[in-house]
Amino acid sequence: MHDGCPWISCVIGSHEYTPQLFETISSVMASEDVSLECIVVLNGLSAHQYHVAEVSLQQQFAGLRLVHASQPGLTQALIKGCSLARGWAIARLDVGDVMTPDRLLRQARVLEQSPDCVLVTSDMAVCGPCWELMRVKHRPSPMLQPQRADTLPPQDGLAIDIPHHASVLLRRSAYNAVGGYRSEFYYGQDWDLWYRLAEQGTFFHIPEVLTKVRLFPQGLSSCHWREQQAIAALSRACFVARRRGQTEELFLKQAAHLRPLPQAVQRWHWFPFDRHQAEGAYFIAESLRRNSDSRCRRYFAEALRYAPWLPKVWLRAAQSLHLSPQP
Protein backbone atom coordinates (compact mmCIF):
# COMPACT_ATOMS: atom_id res chain seq x y z
CA MET A 1 0.00 0.00 0.00
CA HIS A 2 1.18 3.53 -0.81
CA ASP A 3 4.04 2.59 -3.17
CA GLY A 4 5.73 0.24 -0.74
CA CYS A 5 6.35 2.95 1.88
CA PRO A 6 5.09 2.75 5.44
CA TRP A 7 1.54 3.89 5.93
CA ILE A 8 2.44 6.08 8.92
CA SER A 9 5.63 7.56 10.34
CA CYS A 10 5.56 8.10 14.12
CA VAL A 11 8.15 10.69 15.16
CA ILE A 12 9.51 10.92 18.71
CA GLY A 13 12.12 13.42 19.90
CA SER A 14 14.13 12.93 23.09
CA HIS A 15 17.16 14.47 24.75
CA GLU A 16 17.55 11.55 27.17
CA TYR A 17 17.72 7.78 27.09
CA THR A 18 15.19 6.75 29.77
CA PRO A 19 12.87 3.86 30.72
CA GLN A 20 9.95 6.10 29.70
CA LEU A 21 11.29 6.07 26.15
CA PHE A 22 10.97 2.27 26.12
CA GLU A 23 7.32 2.55 27.21
CA THR A 24 6.54 5.03 24.47
CA ILE A 25 8.23 3.05 21.70
CA SER A 26 6.51 -0.13 22.91
CA SER A 27 3.18 1.67 22.62
CA VAL A 28 3.93 2.63 19.02
CA MET A 29 5.08 -0.86 18.09
CA ALA A 30 1.86 -2.33 19.53
CA SER A 31 -0.22 -0.48 16.93
CA GLU A 32 -2.67 -2.75 15.14
CA ASP A 33 -3.35 -3.22 11.42
CA VAL A 34 -1.11 -0.42 10.13
CA SER A 35 2.19 -0.38 8.29
CA LEU A 36 4.38 2.04 10.20
CA GLU A 37 7.88 3.22 10.95
CA CYS A 38 8.97 4.65 14.28
CA ILE A 39 11.60 7.39 14.06
CA VAL A 40 13.32 8.36 17.31
CA VAL A 41 15.57 11.41 17.25
CA LEU A 42 18.03 11.63 20.15
CA ASN A 43 19.60 15.08 20.29
CA GLY A 44 21.13 15.54 23.72
CA LEU A 45 23.49 12.59 23.99
CA SER A 46 27.23 12.26 23.58
CA ALA A 47 28.53 9.90 20.90
CA HIS A 48 29.09 7.20 23.54
CA GLN A 49 25.64 7.65 25.09
CA TYR A 50 24.05 7.48 21.67
CA HIS A 51 25.91 4.26 20.84
CA VAL A 52 24.69 2.66 24.07
CA ALA A 53 21.12 3.74 23.35
CA GLU A 54 21.36 2.54 19.74
CA VAL A 55 22.52 -0.95 20.68
CA SER A 56 19.91 -1.35 23.41
CA LEU A 57 16.95 0.05 21.48
CA GLN A 58 17.63 -1.77 18.24
CA GLN A 59 18.02 -5.06 20.10
CA GLN A 60 14.64 -4.45 21.71
CA PHE A 61 12.75 -3.03 18.72
CA ALA A 62 13.35 -4.47 15.27
CA GLY A 63 13.00 -1.91 12.50
CA LEU A 64 13.30 1.14 14.75
CA ARG A 65 14.84 4.14 12.96
CA LEU A 66 17.18 5.88 15.40
CA VAL A 67 18.74 9.23 14.53
CA HIS A 68 21.43 11.27 16.29
CA ALA A 69 20.90 15.05 15.92
CA SER A 70 23.43 17.64 17.00
CA GLN A 71 21.16 20.66 17.49
CA PRO A 72 19.38 21.02 20.86
CA GLY A 73 15.66 21.24 21.53
CA LEU A 74 12.53 19.31 20.65
CA THR A 75 11.74 21.50 17.64
CA GLN A 76 15.02 20.66 15.92
CA ALA A 77 14.51 16.98 16.71
CA LEU A 78 11.05 17.04 15.13
CA ILE A 79 12.29 18.92 12.07
CA LYS A 80 14.94 16.24 11.60
CA GLY A 81 12.59 13.33 12.23
CA CYS A 82 9.82 14.60 9.96
CA SER A 83 12.30 15.28 7.17
CA LEU A 84 13.13 11.55 7.22
CA ALA A 85 9.51 10.37 7.37
CA ARG A 86 8.42 8.13 4.48
CA GLY A 87 4.81 7.56 5.52
CA TRP A 88 1.96 9.44 3.85
CA ALA A 89 0.92 10.52 7.36
CA ILE A 90 2.96 11.63 10.38
CA ALA A 91 1.99 10.82 13.97
CA ARG A 92 3.40 12.44 17.08
CA LEU A 93 4.14 11.03 20.49
CA ASP A 94 6.33 12.39 23.28
CA VAL A 95 8.57 10.46 25.64
CA GLY A 96 6.52 8.99 28.48
CA ASP A 97 3.24 9.03 26.53
CA VAL A 98 1.33 5.98 25.31
CA MET A 99 -1.51 5.41 22.87
CA THR A 100 -4.16 2.78 22.27
CA PRO A 101 -3.31 0.06 19.72
CA ASP A 102 -6.07 1.27 17.37
CA ARG A 103 -5.25 4.98 17.49
CA LEU A 104 -3.24 5.20 14.26
CA LEU A 105 -5.63 3.01 12.28
CA ARG A 106 -8.68 5.04 13.30
CA GLN A 107 -7.03 8.37 12.60
CA ALA A 108 -5.58 7.20 9.28
CA ARG A 109 -9.01 6.05 8.11
CA VAL A 110 -10.30 9.59 8.57
CA LEU A 111 -7.52 10.96 6.37
CA GLU A 112 -8.16 8.31 3.73
CA GLN A 113 -11.90 8.87 3.67
CA SER A 114 -11.63 12.68 3.63
CA PRO A 115 -9.04 13.87 1.09
CA ASP A 116 -9.36 17.48 2.29
CA CYS A 117 -8.62 16.57 5.92
CA VAL A 118 -5.06 17.39 6.98
CA LEU A 119 -5.11 16.77 10.76
CA VAL A 120 -6.90 14.28 13.02
CA THR A 121 -6.84 14.55 16.82
CA SER A 122 -8.75 12.93 19.69
CA ASP A 123 -9.62 13.16 23.35
CA MET A 124 -6.66 12.59 25.62
CA ALA A 125 -5.88 11.91 29.27
CA VAL A 126 -3.32 14.06 31.09
CA CYS A 127 -1.52 12.18 33.85
CA GLY A 128 1.21 12.71 36.42
CA PRO A 129 4.57 10.92 36.38
CA CYS A 130 3.11 7.71 37.89
CA TRP A 131 -0.04 7.78 35.75
CA GLU A 132 -2.07 9.74 38.30
CA LEU A 133 -5.05 11.04 36.32
CA MET A 134 -5.05 14.85 36.29
CA ARG A 135 -7.79 15.48 33.73
CA VAL A 136 -9.31 14.34 30.45
CA LYS A 137 -9.27 16.85 27.61
CA HIS A 138 -12.23 16.37 25.30
CA ARG A 139 -14.33 18.29 22.81
CA PRO A 140 -17.65 19.56 24.25
CA SER A 141 -19.67 18.45 21.21
CA PRO A 142 -18.86 15.62 18.76
CA MET A 143 -17.87 16.33 15.17
CA LEU A 144 -19.86 14.54 12.48
CA GLN A 145 -17.36 15.28 9.73
CA PRO A 146 -14.05 17.14 9.22
CA GLN A 147 -14.40 20.90 9.49
CA ARG A 148 -12.38 23.99 8.71
CA ALA A 149 -10.63 25.41 11.77
CA ASP A 150 -9.96 28.87 10.34
CA THR A 151 -13.54 30.11 10.31
CA LEU A 152 -13.22 32.56 13.23
CA PRO A 153 -11.81 36.07 13.02
CA PRO A 154 -8.02 35.53 13.01
CA GLN A 155 -7.52 37.25 16.37
CA ASP A 156 -9.85 34.66 17.95
CA GLY A 157 -7.62 31.77 16.87
CA LEU A 158 -8.89 28.41 15.62
CA ALA A 159 -12.43 27.09 15.84
CA ILE A 160 -11.16 23.58 16.70
CA ASP A 161 -8.94 22.96 19.74
CA ILE A 162 -6.01 20.56 19.53
CA PRO A 163 -5.86 18.87 22.96
CA HIS A 164 -2.16 17.98 22.79
CA HIS A 165 0.76 17.71 20.41
CA ALA A 166 0.92 13.94 21.01
CA SER A 167 -2.71 13.42 19.93
CA VAL A 168 -2.34 14.30 16.24
CA LEU A 169 -1.94 12.53 12.93
CA LEU A 170 -0.96 14.84 10.05
CA ARG A 171 -1.13 14.39 6.30
CA ARG A 172 2.54 14.58 5.28
CA SER A 173 1.85 16.38 2.00
CA ALA A 174 0.14 19.19 3.95
CA TYR A 175 2.98 19.27 6.50
CA ASN A 176 5.48 19.70 3.66
CA ALA A 177 3.29 22.26 1.89
CA VAL A 178 3.40 24.65 4.87
CA GLY A 179 7.11 24.12 5.51
CA GLY A 180 6.81 21.91 8.59
CA TYR A 181 7.88 22.96 12.06
CA ARG A 182 9.73 26.26 12.26
CA SER A 183 12.98 26.54 14.19
CA GLU A 184 12.06 29.95 15.65
CA PHE A 185 9.57 28.25 18.01
CA TYR A 186 11.68 26.52 20.66
CA TYR A 187 9.24 26.10 23.55
CA GLY A 188 6.05 25.42 21.60
CA GLN A 189 6.35 24.52 17.94
CA ASP A 190 2.92 22.90 17.70
CA TRP A 191 0.45 25.81 17.60
CA ASP A 192 2.39 27.61 14.89
CA LEU A 193 2.05 24.46 12.77
CA TRP A 194 -1.68 24.04 13.55
CA TYR A 195 -2.40 27.61 12.42
CA ARG A 196 -0.61 27.05 9.12
CA LEU A 197 -2.22 23.64 8.55
CA ALA A 198 -5.66 25.17 9.18
CA GLU A 199 -5.16 27.18 6.02
CA GLN A 200 -4.57 23.95 4.04
CA GLY A 201 -7.69 21.89 4.81
CA THR A 202 -10.03 20.48 7.45
CA PHE A 203 -9.47 19.03 10.93
CA PHE A 204 -11.30 16.19 12.68
CA HIS A 205 -11.62 15.20 16.36
CA ILE A 206 -12.32 11.60 17.44
CA PRO A 207 -14.32 11.75 20.71
CA GLU A 208 -12.42 9.01 22.56
CA VAL A 209 -9.22 8.91 24.59
CA LEU A 210 -6.65 7.48 22.18
CA THR A 211 -3.56 8.97 23.84
CA LYS A 212 -2.42 9.27 27.44
CA VAL A 213 0.28 11.84 28.14
CA ARG A 214 2.39 12.24 31.24
CA LEU A 215 3.67 15.47 32.75
CA PHE A 216 6.93 15.47 34.69
CA PRO A 217 8.20 18.22 37.03
CA GLN A 218 11.23 18.77 34.79
CA GLY A 219 9.23 18.69 31.53
CA LEU A 220 8.78 21.67 29.22
CA SER A 221 5.01 21.90 29.75
CA SER A 222 5.45 21.92 33.52
CA CYS A 223 8.55 24.08 33.92
CA HIS A 224 8.20 26.50 31.03
CA TRP A 225 4.48 27.12 30.76
CA ARG A 226 5.05 30.89 30.77
CA GLU A 227 7.35 30.64 27.76
CA GLN A 228 4.84 28.33 26.07
CA GLN A 229 2.08 30.88 26.62
CA ALA A 230 4.26 33.55 25.05
CA ILE A 231 5.03 31.28 22.09
CA ALA A 232 1.32 30.50 21.67
CA ALA A 233 0.56 34.24 21.56
CA LEU A 234 3.28 34.79 18.95
CA SER A 235 1.98 31.85 16.90
CA ARG A 236 -1.44 33.50 16.82
CA ALA A 237 0.12 36.86 15.96
CA CYS A 238 1.81 35.24 12.96
CA PHE A 239 -1.52 33.72 11.94
CA VAL A 240 -3.26 37.10 12.17
CA ALA A 241 -0.49 38.77 10.17
CA ARG A 242 -0.71 36.18 7.39
CA ARG A 243 -4.48 36.46 7.16
CA ARG A 244 -4.16 40.23 6.86
CA GLY A 245 -1.47 39.98 4.21
CA GLN A 246 1.17 41.39 6.57
CA THR A 247 4.69 40.21 7.35
CA GLU A 248 5.42 37.79 10.21
CA GLU A 249 9.04 38.88 10.52
CA LEU A 250 8.75 40.80 13.81
CA PHE A 251 6.88 37.99 15.58
CA LEU A 252 9.28 35.34 14.28
CA LYS A 253 12.21 37.37 15.64
CA GLN A 254 10.50 37.64 19.03
CA ALA A 255 9.85 33.90 19.07
CA ALA A 256 13.47 33.18 18.16
CA HIS A 257 14.63 35.06 21.26
CA LEU A 258 12.69 32.78 23.60
CA ARG A 259 15.46 30.30 24.34
CA PRO A 260 16.98 28.69 27.44
CA LEU A 261 19.80 30.58 29.04
CA PRO A 262 23.28 29.20 28.38
CA GLN A 263 24.00 26.29 30.70
CA ALA A 264 26.78 28.21 32.40
CA VAL A 265 24.43 30.93 33.62
CA GLN A 266 21.28 28.87 34.33
CA ARG A 267 22.49 27.85 37.78
CA TRP A 268 25.35 26.09 39.46
CA HIS A 269 24.82 22.34 39.36
CA TRP A 270 25.46 22.00 43.08
CA PHE A 271 22.92 24.71 43.95
CA PRO A 272 19.92 22.97 45.57
CA PHE A 273 17.15 25.30 44.37
CA ASP A 274 15.42 25.37 41.00
CA ARG A 275 12.40 27.65 40.50
CA HIS A 276 11.45 26.03 37.19
CA GLN A 277 11.39 22.50 38.59
CA ALA A 278 9.49 23.73 41.64
CA GLU A 279 6.86 25.27 39.35
CA GLY A 280 6.63 21.98 37.45
CA ALA A 281 6.10 19.93 40.60
CA TYR A 282 3.59 22.48 41.93
CA PHE A 283 1.55 22.36 38.71
CA ILE A 284 1.20 18.58 38.98
CA ALA A 285 0.51 18.71 42.71
CA GLU A 286 -2.20 21.36 42.45
CA SER A 287 -3.94 19.52 39.59
CA LEU A 288 -4.08 16.38 41.72
CA ARG A 289 -5.20 18.28 44.83
CA ARG A 290 -8.15 19.68 42.91
CA ASN A 291 -9.06 16.08 42.09
CA SER A 292 -8.91 15.24 45.84
CA ASP A 293 -5.98 12.94 45.10
CA SER A 294 -3.74 12.62 48.17
CA ARG A 295 -0.80 11.71 45.97
CA CYS A 296 -0.46 15.44 45.38
CA ARG A 297 1.50 15.68 48.65
CA ARG A 298 4.49 13.95 47.07
CA TYR A 299 4.75 16.70 44.46
CA PHE A 300 4.13 19.52 46.93
CA ALA A 301 7.09 18.14 48.89
CA GLU A 302 9.19 18.15 45.73
CA ALA A 303 8.19 21.73 44.98
CA LEU A 304 9.18 22.79 48.49
CA ARG A 305 12.52 21.05 48.16
CA TYR A 306 13.35 23.10 45.07
CA ALA A 307 11.77 26.42 46.16
CA PRO A 308 10.88 26.51 49.88
CA TRP A 309 10.24 30.28 49.77
CA LEU A 310 7.05 30.03 47.67
CA PRO A 311 4.00 30.80 49.88
CA LYS A 312 1.49 29.26 47.45
CA VAL A 313 3.16 25.86 47.77
CA TRP A 314 2.95 25.92 51.57
CA LEU A 315 -0.68 27.02 51.43
CA ARG A 316 -1.86 24.34 48.97
CA ALA A 317 0.24 21.67 50.66
CA ALA A 318 -1.48 22.47 53.96
CA GLN A 319 -4.88 22.29 52.26
CA SER A 320 -4.02 18.79 51.01
CA LEU A 321 -3.46 17.34 54.49
CA HIS A 322 -7.13 16.41 54.97
CA LEU A 323 -7.25 14.26 51.83
CA SER A 324 -7.70 10.54 52.39
CA PRO A 325 -4.97 8.24 51.05
CA GLN A 326 -5.62 6.68 47.67
CA PRO A 327 -6.63 2.99 47.78
Asked if 321 contacts 292 with a C-beta cutoff of 8 angstroms, the reply is: no
pLDDT at position 262 is 61
Q: Each residue of 145-178: pLDDT tens digit?
A: 999 999 999 999 999 999 999 999 999 999 999 9
8-223: in CATH 3.30.460.80: no
Q: The pTM is what?
A: 0.91
pLDDT at position 275 is 86
Burial class (CB in 10 A: 0-12, 13-18, 19+), 165: buried
The amino acid present at 320, given as its one-letter code, is S
pLDDT surpasses 60 at 269? no
pLDDT surpasses 80 at 266? no
Query: Which pLDDT band holds residue 3 (cuts at 50, 70, 90)?
Result: low
What are the φ and ψ backbone dihedral angles of 315, each rounded to 5 degrees?
-65, -50
Would you list the DSSP string of 107-137?
HHHHHHH-TTEEEEEEEEEEE-TT--EEEEE
- Domain limits of the chain? 8-223, 266-327
Closest alpha carbon to 35 in 10, 6, 61, 64: 6
pLDDT surpasses 70 at 306? yes
pLDDT at position 268 is 46
Task: Give the torsion sign (CA, 114, 94, 78, 234).
Answer: positive
pLDDT at position 71 is 81
Q: Each residue of 51-88: pLDDT tens digit?
A: 888 899 988 998 899 999 888 889 999 999 999 999 99
pLDDT at position 80 is 95
Q: Each residue of 211-244: pLDDT tens digit?
A: 999 999 988 777 777 889 999 999 999 999 999 9
Q: Each residue of 179-221: pLDDT tens digit?
A: 999 999 998 899 999 999 999 999 999 999 999 999 999 887 7
CA distances from 67 to 85, 94, 223 (A): 12, 16, 26
